[in-house]
Amino acid sequence: MTSMRSIVVGTAGHIDHGKSALVRALTGTDPDRLKEEKARGITIDLGFAHQIIDDINFAFVDVPGHERFVKNMLAGVGGIDFVVLVVAADESVMPQTREHFDICRLLHVSAGLVALTKSDVADADMLELARLEVRELVAGSFLEGAPIVPVSARTGEGLDALRAALVGVARASGGRAVRGVTRLPIDRVFSMKGFGTVVTGTLVSGRIRVEEELAVAPGATRVKVRGVQVHGEKQREAIAGQRSAVNLAGVEVGDLARGQALVTPGAFVETRLADASVEVLPGAKPLKHGARVRFHQGTAEILGRVAVIGPLGDRSPAAFARGVSAPEDRLALQPSERLALQPSDRGFVRLRLEAPALLARGDRYILRAYSPPVTIAGGLILDPAPPRSAIRTAAALDRVRRLDFDPTAGDLASAQERAVAVMLEDAGAAGLPVTALTSRAGIDPSDAAARADALVHAKQALRAGDVLIAANVYARLEDAIVATLTEHHKRQPLSEGIPREELREQLFARGHVAVFDRALERLAAATVIAVRDRVALATHRLELTPEEERARAAIERAFREGGLKPPDAAGVAASAGVPAAVVDRMLKLLQRQKVLVKVDALLFHDAALKQLKAEVGALKAAAGAAARIDVATFKERFGVTRKFAIPLLEYLDRERVTRRMGETRVVL
Ligand SMILES: Nc1nc2c(ncn2[C@@H]2O[C@H](COP(=O)(O)OP(=O)(O)OP(=O)(O)O)[C@@H](O)[C@H]2O)c(=O)[nH]1
Ligand SMILES: [Mg+2]
């Protein structure tokens, strides 16, 4: 059965036009499963049934026609391969015929047919009139020229023709790629005796295997697949395009809901912000900047607001805003409340959602007005995780235009390339995580590493650790490092450079540490800079005046000779015959160079301290574990007064050469 072609067909159409009756006539299964549905004779929620016709496995998703349940219709229509638009011959085209059809068009459902139902109660004239109205409705759409089949669920008339038409459309529509990340928008959650938690949905991409670990998102719950059913039969795996029921371990029914999805862990972003293209329905009211809307994607409905970025084409945004004229580069100055997308307009919006959504680049979505909830627009997600940057600028408009693409066009690769370039720019110094190539740009995870390599190879980006950084951002960083060091050396010729962390804070505080490290490494390898605990230009030499040089040498000698009884600064200045200020500068320089080391308030020559450590350490070699030293023996042995002995012994403690135990010290 897995080798058999699976096709998911959705019904659509006005209430009472015979959608459910038709599904039942075709499959023998009544899709209305709820008590209330049977009692009221209407469909409230999605219904499911399946039937093999020829050698094709048809899964039907039956939707409610009632205007109050369009939200349920939207949860069902997301994953369908094609639509059967149901129009009762005796009533012809009605409001939800139009709304459902609009939704299919906005979601870019690619194929379908029209069933003229209740043919048994319509005479030839009525049938002809309905046929005409349907033709008018679908003119110029994906259903133009599609079969229009009169049928009666009551008498069975026309059912064979309808089956033939279903098979014809199915054969003409291309299969779905099974590659890609797993994604099953959940439309039902229930508990089955002896099994536990079961979710159902149309697997829109990837595959689901028994024993596999997946995530339920939003929410990031990890689950394990215990069992898989496709069309009511147990299978080892379900593949893209199949209606699937999945038995899950590790999760309670109460923790799951329609609107979540079963997905490959980590492959999607959970987001409240998305940039998208949008198309406003001809009959809708203008879509105003800031309007509160109902956002529908997959099986989810989330409240949110739209921020209008700008129009689709080259049309000036002036035409866009009622009564306001503003040239494009002044977009930022345009009063936002005036900016609106008019009926039939196409443009770009930033969606701000009130709860997280699981979105991917290329997802189709629908917008309905908050109240009354009528369908007003739909579009395509271009970036599911845009930066929180200003959108009322010409640059922002240019950015979304570069992100725009047609998922059904052949050349997806170049659209992806453009998107990655934009996202690299967005990421700036922080870098674009390689995982974002999948979660944000929609690149298959198995291709992401190769794509990252290609970007590096083409010199468009550099890789540092887990992130990619745009080549120009990186070049700017290298230039800034060199410029900053040049300036620093000019202003402070006696400094050996800038401490590494300080340089990073100054130039790259918001950048990725790995990128900064990489830049230093590269500049160091090219001998442009030298990196020790301070970063300096490789060409930088300390240029001391003769007086400074004399002072430096005198101080160094004085401290070396002083050993554990070093001189004080005033004494050095006097004996070297240089001004106190110069001595002060040289003392600091010698400390930075670690020639002199500060112990409490005293300065010692590094060599003296090293020797002290070695000699105290040697006591251990002589006396073993019993090696002890106290203040008196220390003073005597090293010939120093208490003034030096105490700080030096404490220094030895800090250096872990000794450990204080009451009045004495153990040599470690
Ligand atoms: N005479 C006749 N009646 C039909 C036919 N198909 C459906 N009906 C009747 O029309 C009414 C509505 O049928 P449904 O199949 O429930 O309509 P629906 O489109 O599913 O309605 P919703 O799901 O509520 O939108 C029922 O009373 C059916 O018996 C048909 O071919 N001929
Ligand atoms: Mg129904």
Q: Which atom of ligand 1 is nearest to the CA of 86?
A: 19
Question: Which is the closest atom of ligand 1 to the Cα of 23?
Answer: 15
- Look at residue 232 in the predicted model and tell me its pLDDT: 83
The 3-class secondary structure across 535-574, one letter per residue, is EEECCCCCCCCHHHHHHHHHHHHHHHHHCCCCCCHHHHHH
Residue 315 has pLDDT above 50, yes or no: no
pLDDT at 580: 84
Which of 154, 155, 157, 162 gets mutated to test ligand 1 (max ligand atoms within 8 A of its CB)?
154
Coil, strand or helix: which one is 280?
Answer: strand
- Tell if the pTM clears 0.95, that is, is over it: no
- pLDDT computed for residue 3 by the predictor: 63
Q: What does the pLDDT read at residue 542?
A: 77
Ligand nearest to the CA of 66: 1
DSSP symbols for 126-168: HHHHHHHHHHHHHTTSTTTT--EEE--TTT-TTHHHHHHHHHH
Tell me which ligand sits closest to the C-alpha of residue 116. 1
What's the pLDDT score for residue 327?
A: 42
Q: Which ligand 1 atom minimizes the distance to the CA of 121?
A: 1
CA nearest ligand 1 atom 7, residue: 18
Q: Tell me the range of 10-19, 320-329, 600-609 where mean pLDDT is highest.
A: 10-19
Average pLDDT, the chain: 90
Cβ-Cβ contacts under 8 Å for 541 (sequence gap 6 or more): none
Give me the residue label for tokens 């990489």.
518
Separation of CA 658 and ligand 2 centre (Å): 87
Q: Which residues line ligand 1 (CB under 6 A)?
A: 15-21, 41-43, 64-66, 117-118, 120-121, 152-154
Q: Which residues of 331-348 are buried (b: 16+ CB within 10 A; e: fewer)?
A: beebeeeebbbbeebbbb
pLDDT at 53: 96
Ligand lying closest to the C-alpha of residue 32? 2
Say yes or no to pLDDT of 323 above 80.
no
CA 14 to centroid of ligand 2, rounded, Å? 9
Decide if pLDDT at 335 tops 70.
no
Which of 338, 259, 240, 262 is CA-nearest to residue 303?
A: 259
Which is more confident, 71 or 338? Answer: 71
Strand partners, 306: 351
15 CA → ligand 1 middle, Å: 8
The rounded Å distance from CA 42 to ligand 2 centre is 5
- What value does the mean pLDDT take over residues 454-460? 93
Q: Which of the listed residues 11, 15, 20, 73 should we mutate to test ligand 1's pocket, taking the one with most ligand atoms within 8 A of CB?
A: 20
Give residue 338's pLDDT band: very low, low, confident or very high (50, 70, 90): low
Ligand 1 test: best mutation among 15, 19, 29, 90, most atoms within 8 Å of CB? 19
Query: How many angstroms does the Cα of residue 59 sit away from the middle of ligand 2?
Result: 16
Compute the average pLDDT of residues 249-269. 94
Token pair of 467 as six digits: 């992130």
Q: Which residue has the tokens 């900064």?
A: 516
Looking at residue 574, its pLDDT comes to 78
Q: How far apart are CA 132 and CA 195, in angstroms?
A: 51
pLDDT band at 60 (very low <50, low <70, confident <90, very high): very high
Ligand nearest to the CA of 22: 1
Task: Give pLDDT, residue 422.
Answer: 95
Whether omega for the bond prior to residue 372 falls within 30 degrees of 0, making it cis, is yes
Which string of b and e fits 159-192 if b means at least 16 CB within 10 Å? beebbebbbebbeeeeebeeebbbbbbbbbbeee
CA of 230 to the centre of ligand 1 (A): 28
